[in-house]
Amino acid sequence: MNIDSISNGVVLDHIQSGKSMEIYQHLHLDRLDCQVAIIKNARSAHMGRKDIIKIDSPMELDLDVLGYIDASITVNIIRDGKLKEKKHLELPQRLVNVIRCKNPRCITTAEPQLDAVFLLSDPERHTYRCAYCETALDKQF
Amino acid sequence: MPRNIIDVIDLSVAEIDQLIATAEDIIANPVKYQDACAHKQLATLFFEPSTRTRLSFESAMLALGGSVLGFSEANSSSAAKGETVGDTVHTVSCYADIIAMRHPKEGAPYAAAQFSEVPIINAGDGGHNHPTQTLTDLLTIHREKGRLDGFTIGFCGDLKFGRTVHSLVNALSRYGNINFVLISPEELKLPRYVKEQSLKPKGIPYTQTTDLESVIPQLDILYMTRVQRERFFNEEDYLRLKDSYILTPEKLRSAKPDLSILHPLPRVNEIAVAVDKDPRAAYWKQVKNGKFIRMALILKLLGIEV
C-alpha cells in the first residue's frame, strides 16, 4: 500500500494500533481541508503494529491533548519534504479543557463556562485530578 | 496575585506554627490586636447557611477593629439571578480587602480566586475543604496537648463526606509520630484517595474499625463528626447511618483521663449532652479557638504585623 509522502505537514507516528480515529476526532482533523491519511495496523519492528496519521499541511497541534491520549506518539514536522523536527511527548502536568469533571458537586459542573483544569497527580497510573474539587479521573483513552 | 487559602496545605508547616503562635498571643494579649485591622473590610460571602464559621469570621474581624459586609445565603445575593461565582467575587473584591467564602459546590473558592483582586479564604466548599476549621482543630490540639505530634487520634463517624476529617488528616500527616484510628461504618469509611495522598506515601500507621468502644482506651484525642444529611443523595441511606456512633458518659469510662474530645460542630446527637460536663470535652473551647486562629489568618493575609 502506497501513501504519498508529504512535503509540508505533520506525521504522527507510533500511535497505538487502533487509536488513530480517537486522535483524529480529538484533534478535530475532520475540519481540515487538506489531505489527511490514516494508516491503521502498519507494520512496526518496535510495536508490532501501529497507526500513523499524515497531515498534508503545516498546523499547530495541541501537544497536551496528544500527550494525554498517547504519550508514546512521535510528532514529525515535515518542511520541504524533509524532517525538520521530531517531538517526543510526555504526559502533560496540566490539562485545560481536554476532559471535564464528572463530579456532580463540582463547581465546573454547575458553571460549565469555567475552564476545566486537571492536574497530573499520579504519572504511573495516569491519574489526573480536577484542580477545583480534586476528583480523580483515570486516563480515558 | 493575592495570597489565597483554599486548602490547608496551601500553608507550610512553618506558617501554621506561626499562625498558632499568633493566635496564642492574641488570646494572651487581646488589647494589643484590637485596632490592628482598623479601616479594613472583610466580606463574608456565604452561599450556604452557617452559624459558627460566618459569625466566627465576623467576630474575628470586629475584634481586630475592622468591619464586615456580605450575605449569609445565596438567595440574598445575585447568585439567585444566575450570576457566576467569578462575577460575584470580582464585584465584591472591589469593595472589600479580604473575602471569606462558603459555597455548596466543591472547588468554588478555587474558581473564585481566579477572579479576585483580594485574598480569598475558603470557608468551606461542599464536602471538599474547610481549611479554617482545620486550623481551629490544630490550635485546639496544640492548646490541649501542648504539641502537634506524638499522639493517637481517633476519627469517628462520617469519615467519607466529613471534609473536616480529610483536611485534618492531611494537615496532621505533616507532623511526626501520630497514630491514626479511623472509626466508621463501612459505607462511610475514609476515602481511598485521602489515605493514598496523606498516609500511605509517608508510611503513617493507621487502623480502621467499626467499633468505637474497643479502641477508645488507646486514644489521646477523639475527633467526633456528624453524619451530614446534606451530603446524601438518598434519604434512606442517611436515616440508616445517622445514629451509627453516639458518644455517651458510659462509653467514656474506659477512655484515658486526659483524652481530648473534639467536634467541628454542629452536632445532632452523636455526642450526648451529658458529655458536655466532662472535663475531657474540648469542643466548646474549639469554637472559641476558631475565632482566634481566624484573627491570626486575617492578619497574615493582609500582611499586618502587630
Task: Please determine, for residue B173, whether its predicted confidence score (pLDDT) is greater than 90.
Answer: yes
Residue A57: inside a domain = yes
Residues A84, A100 within the same domain: no
Please answer yes or no on whether A134 and B126 come within 8 Å at the CB atom.
no
Q: How far is CA A80 from CA A13, A59, A84, A87, in A?
A: 19, 14, 9, 18
Residue B263 known to be catalytic: no
User: At A3, which amino acid appears?
Assistant: I
Residues of A in contact with B193 (CB under 8 A): 134, 136
What backbone phi and psi angles, to 5 degrees, belong to B270? -75, -15
92-131 in A: which are within 8 Å (CB) of B? Answer: 103, 105-111, 113-114, 130-131
> In sequence order, which ranges of A8-102 are alpha helices (DSSP H)?
20-26, 63-69
Rounded to an integer, what distance in angstroms lies between the CA atom of residue A132 and that of residue A108? 8
Whether A134 maps to a domain, the answer reads: yes
Q: What is the pLDDT of residue B38?
A: 98
- Please report the residues numbered 57 through 76 in chain A whose beta carbons come closer than 8 angstroms to any beta carbon of chain B: none
User: B245, B270 in Cβ contact below 8 A?
Assistant: yes
Of the two residues B215 and B235, the one the predictor is more confident about is B215
Asked whether the beta carbons of residue A111 and residue B84 sit closer than 8 angstroms, the reply is: yes
Task: Give the chain A residue whose CA is nearest to the CA of B230.
Answer: A105
Cα–Cα distance for residue pair B249/A101, rounded to 1 Å: 45
Output the pLDDT for position A4. 66
Choice between A138 and A55, residue whose per-residue pLDDT is larger? A55
Q: ipTM, 2 decimals? A: 0.85
B52 is catalytic: yes
CATH at A53: 3.30.70.140
Q: What is the mean pLDDT of residues B34-55?
A: 95
In this structure, the answer to whether residues A56 and A17 fall within a common structural domain is: yes
> Does B105 contact A114 at a Cβ distance shorter than 8 Å?
no
On the question of pLDDT at B292 being above 80, the answer is yes
Unique residue bearing C-alpha cell 479554617: B132
Q: pLDDT digit string (tens) for B15-33?
A: 999 999 999 999 999 999 9
**Cβ <8 Å between B111 and A114:** yes
All residues at 6 or more sequence positions from B54 whose CB lies less than 8 Å from its CB, including other chains: B44, B46, B72, B100, B102, B123
- pLDDT category at A140 given cuts 50, 70, 90 is low
Interface touch A132/B111, C-beta < 8 Å: yes
Whether residue B126 has pLDDT greater than 90: no
The residue ranking higher by pLDDT, B234 or B273, is B273
Instruction: Give A12-54 pLDDT, tens digit per residue.
Output: 999 999 989 989 988 889 999 999 999 999 999 889 999 999 9
| DSSP class per residue in B107-164 | THHHHHHTT-SS-EEEEEETTS--HHHHHHHHHHHHHHHSSSSSEEEEEES-TTT-HH
Q: Which of residues 163-222 of B touch A (CB under 8 A)?
A: 193
Nearest CA in chain B to A113: B84
Residues A98 and A62 in one domain: no
In a domain, A3, yes or no: no
Task: Judge if A99 and A78 occupy the same domain.
Answer: no
- Same structural domain for residues A73 and A33? yes
pLDDT of residue B163: 81
**What pLDDT does A61 receive?**
86
Interface test with B, best of A133, A135, A137, A138 (most B CBs within 10 A): A133
Which residue is associated with the grid cell 472559641?
Answer: B288
Distance of CA B155 to the CA centre of its chain: 14
Which tens digit of pLDDT belongs to each residue from A77-95?
Answer: 999 989 999 999 999 999 9
The CA distance from B83 to the nearest CA of chain A, in Å, is: 10
Residues of chain B with C-beta less than 8 angstroms from the C-beta of A124: none
Q: Is the pLDDT of residue B127 over 90?
A: no
Residues A82 and A101 both lie in one domain: no
> H or E segment at A87?
strand A82-88
Domains in chain B: ranges and CATH: 8-129+288-302 (3.40.50.1370), 132-286 (3.40.50.1370)
Does residue A1 fall inside a structural domain?
A: no
Question: What is the rounded CA–CA span in Å between residue B40 and residue B66?
Answer: 5
* One domain for residues A65 and A104: no
Tell me the chain B residues in contact with residue A102 when contact means C-beta distances shorter than 8 Å: none
CA–CA dist B128, B194 (Å, integer): 11
For residue A14, what pLDDT is reported? 94
Active-site annotation holder among B22, B40, B44, B53: B53
In a shared domain, residues A43 and A68: yes
Interchain contact, B108 vs A103, CB within 8 Å: no
Report the gap between the CA of A64 and the closest CA in chain B (Å). 22
Checking if the pLDDT of B109 tops 70, the result is: yes
Cβ contact, residue pair A130, B107, below 8 Å: yes
Residues A84 and A98 in one domain: no
Residue B1 to chain A, least CA–CA distance (Å): 18
Q: What is the mean pLDDT of residues B261-277?
A: 94
pLDDT confidence bin for B231, thresholds 50/70/90: low
Residue B53 catalytic?
Answer: yes
Query: What are the angstrom distances between the C-alpha of A46 and each of A14, A26, A71?
Result: 9, 25, 15
Minimum-distance CB partner of B105 among A107, A113, A134: A107
| Contact yes or no for A54/A3 (Cβ under 8 A) | yes
Check if B210 is active-site.
no
Q: How many domains does chain A have?
A: 2
Residue listed under C-alpha cell 488589647: B31
Q: Which triple of cell numbers denotes residue B201? A: 506515601
Decide if A2 is inside a domain: no
Any domain includes A4 = no
Chain A nearest CA to B122, separation (Å):
12
Q: Can you give the CATH number for the domain in which A106 is found? A: 2.30.30.20
CA-derived radius of gyration, chain B: 19
Mean pLDDT of B215-219: 97
Q: Give the Cα separation of B197 and B278 in Å (integer).
A: 35
- Please answer yes or no on whether B107 and A111 come within 8 Å at the CB atom: no
Q: Decide if A64 contacts A72 (C-beta within 8 A).
A: no
Q: Range of A103's domain?
A: 94-138
Mean pLDDT of all residues belonging to chain B: 93
Model confidence at A65: pLDDT above 80: yes
Question: Percentage of chain B surpassing pLDDT 70?
Answer: 98
A104 in the same domain as A39: no
Dist. CA A70–CA A5, nearest whole Å? 24
| Buried/exposed B216-253: b ≥16 CB within 10 Å, e otherwise | beebbbbbbbbbbeebbeeeeebeebbebbbbeeebbe
My answer on whether A66 and A23 are in the same domain is yes
C-alpha distance from A141 to closest chain B C-alpha (Å): 22
What is the pLDDT, as a whole number, of residue A1?
A: 55
Could you tell me if A66 and A130 lie in one domain?
no
Q: What is the pLDDT of residue B99?
A: 98
Measured in angstroms, the CA of A100 and the nearest CA of chain B are apart by 14
In sequence order, the β-bridge partners of residue A86 are A76
Is residue A98 a part of any domain in this protein? yes
For residue B295, what pLDDT is reported?
Answer: 98
Task: Examine the pLDDT at B77 and tell me if it is beyond 80.
Answer: no
| Beta-carbon separation of A107 and B108 below 8 A | yes
- Asked whether residue A47 is assigned to any structural domain, the reply reads yes
